[in-house]
Structure 1
Amino acid sequence: MEQWVLDNLDKEREIAGLGLCDRCLGRMFGKLGECMTNDVRGRMIREALAESGTETQAEEFCPLCENVFDMIDRFAEAAAEKVNEVESDNFLIGTRVEPEIAKREKDIVAEHGLEFAEGIKSELNREIGKVAILSIHRPVEFKNPQVVACVDTRFAEVTLDIAPLFIAGRYNKFS
């Protein structure tokens, strides 16, 4: 078991008691541990809690994310479809989440003093992007993307923000 898991058992016990899914539980400690998804991190926390004598169970319907991660493939497919409609050298995925979800997450983080939490939008952007890139066949550009596909998770709608093309030129006026 990794040391960061054992060092945070009390906070992990509090958060796991909220009935969050493994992804949301792991995301609350998202900046701890390396090279693992929040889903894996959440399962690791539950295993550590079970070994310490606290059995926790995720609710069937996550009270934080409302199971939005079950629709990653649908979001990625919609984003890839939109991005493939335009010509570009690179792209980036962005998301809009329900304001209630963002508020619940912010409240949990503040109430429990979770300084290592990762935001739900960051995880959604990453996970949708990892699936979408398989269909888009273009590199992701974080600093200056030519196309940003913004996925509205409430309606599974995608809007594109296309960076303007700047063409510079000179001319001589002869008359």
Structure 2
Amino acid sequence: MIVLDTAFEMLEKHALCDNCLGRQFALLARGVENDERGKALKLGLTMQANALNLDKKKEGLRKLKVLVSNGFSIEAGTALCQSGKRCPKHKVQVCFLCDGKFQILDALAQKVLEEAAYYEYTTFLVGIELPMTVEEREDEFKAALNVVYGESIRHEFGRLLGKLLEEQKGKTVDFRKPDLTIILNPWTENITLQVNPLFVAGRYCKLVRDIPQSKWFCHSCRGKGCEKCGGTGKLYPES
């Protein structure tokens, strides 16, 4: 119940999408994505509030309204309608922490793939650039609500984008020495690609003594051709 109480306190103060609510409890119930975790929390809160509302307790009605307005919960809206209350009108709300950027992550991944299509690479790494205001807002949010089980918004963006690129392109994430480093700013949608240089090494065997391994240009004409070099531009015929 402590987790649900904390989650409701967050929603009571700010509008949060499934990702941003679930991310505050990312270290709990491993193996579940943050959006799934957020949906589960909102569903649990809806069931709790619905039970209170059916028992004619005003707290239940208040919680359902909060879940509709700040939690974008369809289930809470349905519960309000079924209990005979006025169905809430749909209001366009934006998540307080991510400004709705997690909802366009698929489109951002597609844009990254289009930019990276000009390069040949096998491994990649994703980096995320965030506006300073976004990071400060998240830090203040965590401090005010004493978030101790959370994941950073930067880390979640990078992790989810990396998974999408792996699934869609079949490439592999390499944290040590990637062929291509992708830096994305989800707010400006600016993409920077950093390509690691490719070094080609080789060796040869000099089996004949008279074949020079360097070019020897004529000292007089510097390779242009003159009477001294017979118009060849070379110091020696073999060079």
TM range, normalised to the smaller chain? Answer: 0.7 to 0.9
Q: What is the percentage of aligned positions where both structures have the same residue?
A: 30
Could you tell me how far apart the structure 1 residues matched to 2:175 and 2:113 are? 17
Conserved in 1, the CA contact under 8 Å of 2:165 and 2:171? no
What's the TM-score, normalizing by structure 2?
0.63
Number of matched residues? 170
Could you tell me how far apart the structure 2 residues matched to 1:150 and 1:165 are? 20
User: How much has 1:92 moved relative to structure 2?
Assistant: 1.5
Aligned AA (2:127): G
Could you tell me how far apart the structure 1 residues matched to 2:153 and 2:34 are? 10
Aligned AA (1:23): N
The answer for the alignment partner of 1:3 in structure 2 is none
The answer for the alignment partner of 2:29 in structure 1 is 33
User: How much has 1:8 moved relative to structure 2?
Assistant: 1.8
Residue 93, structure 1, aligned to residue 126, structure 2: yes
RMSD: 2.4
Aligned AA (2:128): T
Residue 45, structure 1, aligned to residue 41, structure 2: yes
Conserved in 1, the CA contact under 8 Å of 2:125 and 2:162? yes
Aligned AA (1:45): L
Residue 65, structure 1, aligned to residue 88, structure 2: no
Q: Which runs of 5+ in 2 are unaligned?
A: 50-62, 73-92, 207-212, 215-239
Of 140, 148, 162, the match for 2:173: 140
Q: In terms of Rg, which structure is larger?
A: 2
Residue 155, structure 1, aligned to residue 188, structure 2: yes
The answer for the alignment partner of 1:8 in structure 2 is 3
Aligned AA (1:113): N
After superposition, give the CA deviation of every residue in 1:15-38 in whole Å (9 maximum; x if it has no partner): 122221111100111111122211
Could you tell me how far apart the structure 2 residues matched to 1:119 and 1:103 are? 12
